Amino acid sequence: MKGISVIVIALAGAIFVLSLEAIFLSTSIRMSVERSISAQEVEILRSINKLEMVKIGLPYALEYSFQQAVYDVSKNGGYFFIQPGVPTYNGLPIWRNYSNINEPSYIEEIKKSTLSYLNKYMSSIGFVNSGQYTEVSIGDYTPVHRRDFVCCSSCKCGGCKFIISRGTWEECYCSSECENAGEVCRTNEPGVTPVACKPKNGVWRETTCNSGENLYSLTYCDSTASSVEEACKKKCSQEGMDFLSYTSNSCSCIKITIMPNVFLINASSSQDITIESQLYKASIESNTSQVVKTNVFNILATAESKFIASDAVKDKLITALSSYDCSSNNETVKSAVASAILALEFSNKNISLSLTPKKIVIKPDCNSTVAVAVEVKIKDKLPYLVYDGTTAYRNPELRFYVITSSDYSFQPI
């Protein structure tokens, strides 16, 4: 009995020890599993936080990429990079070279540059995978629109015949469409003064007259106008456009749409932004947008209206030189030219325009004919946070050259 009791006691002791070990082992296994689950949760949370940081930062990355793009493209005269073959003067692009236009795609170049900077930003984030952004939209620009009008009529000098009774002379007469129909408008008979045919009613045409029509002074298309200039201004007003310029028989009107300076810009990519580890993979949509303030459209409208759709510098030269002749003093003429060019400058709450004559060439045999090379600067008065040696708030400034003359046949520059 004593031996059995000892065995029972020993078995009981063993069972107790084994129970303790089982409890300890169970506790250890549970703690290990919990630690493993906790580590996974932490990694997942970190991944989610990283994606959220990227998601929050994307609109600002787009905005700063856009601001840097506007600053750099404007500084380069409208180009992301000035390519070989682009005509330049003093290192800047020439937008107008007399009658030749070399306008860059200013807005498209800004889009291209914005994409470049945004993709560089995304590639610098090492803990996420993303595709390339392929498209940026910056609102819709309404181009400057120019229309040219002329005054036309079927009134003409014709019906010519030979007059034998007074000698062999040729006489031509104003047609029935003329106010002075039947009057002699052309003759080679000595002592006879022909008259100018006058239309009964002129008709406005765009650019050119129709076949069978002749060109007449603008006042024949508006009998209430006291001058050619007034007739042109009234026509522009009727078309809902602004007056640009006129000659005795042509009228130029222009439509400039003042653009707002707040836009929603968008960047899109066909691939999502992802973060991946051994335990977890997550993704967010890469497309992003941001509201930005910019005057790029108003800058472009100013450049197009004054130096592309028209040649404002040439018009100023013609007006300024009208009181001079070929024998006028050189320095006096140069001073008048410089003053005329500076008169084009302006400043409003959004942008400012400044012009600097860099070269003035006077025609050797006639001092009243002048050619100029003018540096144009159109500044956005809104501040942009950009890098240019240092990071600071700066004002973008579109810079380019206009080379022109008071007479396009004189092209010394």
**How many domains does the chain contain in total?**
2
Q: What is the pLDDT of residue 54?
A: 73
Q: What is the pLDDT of residue 306?
A: 94
User: Residue 12: pLDDT above 90?
Assistant: no
Judgement on whether residues 58 and 115 belong to the same structural domain of the protein: yes
| 295: number of Cβ within 10 Å | 24
Q: What is the pLDDT of residue 9?
A: 40
The pLDDT mean for the chain works out to 86
Judgement on whether residues 302 and 181 belong to the same structural domain of the protein: no
Q: What is the pLDDT of residue 42?
A: 58
Whether 28 is in a domain gets the answer no
Q: pTM of the prediction?
A: 0.78
Q: Lowest-pLDDT range, 173-182, 256-265, 315-324?
A: 256-265
CB-based burial, 210-240: b 16+ in 10 Å, e otherwise = eeebbbbbbbbbbeebeebebbbbbbbeeee
Whether 228 is in a domain gets the answer yes
Judgement on whether residues 311 and 337 belong to the same structural domain of the protein: yes
Judgement on whether residues 215 and 245 belong to the same structural domain of the protein: yes
Q: What is the pLDDT of residue 142?
A: 85
Report, as an integer, the average pLDDT of 390-411.
97
Q: Lowest-pLDDT range, 46-55, 111-120, 132-141, 251-260?
A: 46-55
Judgement on whether residues 277 and 209 belong to the same structural domain of the protein: no
Q: Lowest-pLDDT range, 222-226, 270-274, 315-319, 341-345?
A: 270-274
User: Residue 7: pLDDT above 60?
Assistant: no
Judgement on whether residues 243 and 264 belong to the same structural domain of the protein: no
Report, as an integer, the average pLDDT of 221-231.
93
Judgement on whether residues 77 and 132 belong to the same structural domain of the protein: yes
Q: What is the pLDDT of residue 19?
A: 43
Q: What is the pLDDT of residue 36?
A: 45
**56-86 confidence digits (pLDDT tens):** 888 999 999 999 999 999 999 999 999 999 9
**Which of 230, 253, 276 is the last residue before a domain boundary?**
253
Judgement on whether residues 320 and 306 belong to the same structural domain of the protein: yes
Whether 381 is in a domain gets the answer yes
User: Residue 163: pLDDT above 90?
Assistant: no
Q: What is the pLDDT of residue 40?
A: 57
User: Residue 15: pLDDT above 60?
Assistant: no
Q: What is the pLDDT of residue 377?
A: 98
**Residue 123 binned pLDDT confidence (cut-offs 50, 70, 90):** confident
Q: What is the pLDDT of residue 155?
A: 95
Judgement on whether residues 69 and 175 belong to the same structural domain of the protein: no
**279-307 confidence digits (pLDDT tens):** 667 777 888 999 999 999 999 999 999 99
**Which of 212, 237, 253 is the last residue before a domain boundary?**
253
Q: What is the pLDDT of residue 248?
A: 85
**97-115 confidence digits (pLDDT tens):** 999 999 999 999 999 999 9
Judgement on whether residues 333 and 202 belong to the same structural domain of the protein: no
Whether 22 is in a domain gets the answer no
- Quick one: tokens of 300? 């472009």
List of long-range contacts for 51-60, beta carbons under 8 Å, 24+ apart: 51/128, 51/273, 51/275, 51/282, 51/283, 51/284, 54/125, 54/128, 54/273, 54/284, 55/284, 58/286, 58/288, 59/288, 59/289, 59/290, 60/290
**Residue 49 binned pLDDT confidence (cut-offs 50, 70, 90):** low
Q: What is the pLDDT of residue 271?
A: 84
Judgement on whether residues 223 and 269 belong to the same structural domain of the protein: no
In 239-305, which ranges are E strands?
A: 242-247, 250-255, 262-268, 273-276, 281-284, 288-293
Q: What is the pLDDT of residue 272?
A: 82
**Residue 31 binned pLDDT confidence (cut-offs 50, 70, 90):** very low
Whether 36 is in a domain gets the answer no
**Which of 206, 228, 253 is the last residue before a domain boundary?**
253
Q: What is the pLDDT of residue 184?
A: 93
User: Residue 383: pLDDT above 50?
Assistant: yes
Task: Give the C-alpha separation, 288 to 273, whole Å.
Answer: 11
Whether 14 is in a domain gets the answer no
**251-262 confidence digits (pLDDT tens):** 999 998 888 889
Whether 280 is in a domain gets the answer yes
Secondary structure of residue 2 in the 3-state scheme: helix
Whether 387 is in a domain gets the answer yes
Task: Give, in order, the Cα–Cα distances in Å from 319 to each of 23, 38, 276, 310, 337.
Answer: 105, 83, 70, 15, 10
Identify the H or E element spanning 33: helix 2-75
| 348: number of Cβ within 10 Å | 11
Q: What is the pLDDT of residue 8?
A: 37
**Which residue range forms the structural domain that includes residue 278?**
46-144+256-405
What percent of the chain clears pLDDT 90, i.e. is strictly above it? 65
**Residue 30 binned pLDDT confidence (cut-offs 50, 70, 90):** very low
Query: Is residue 44 exposed (0-12), middle (13-18) or buried (19+ Cβ within 10 Å)?
Result: middle
Judgement on whether residues 244 and 265 belong to the same structural domain of the protein: no
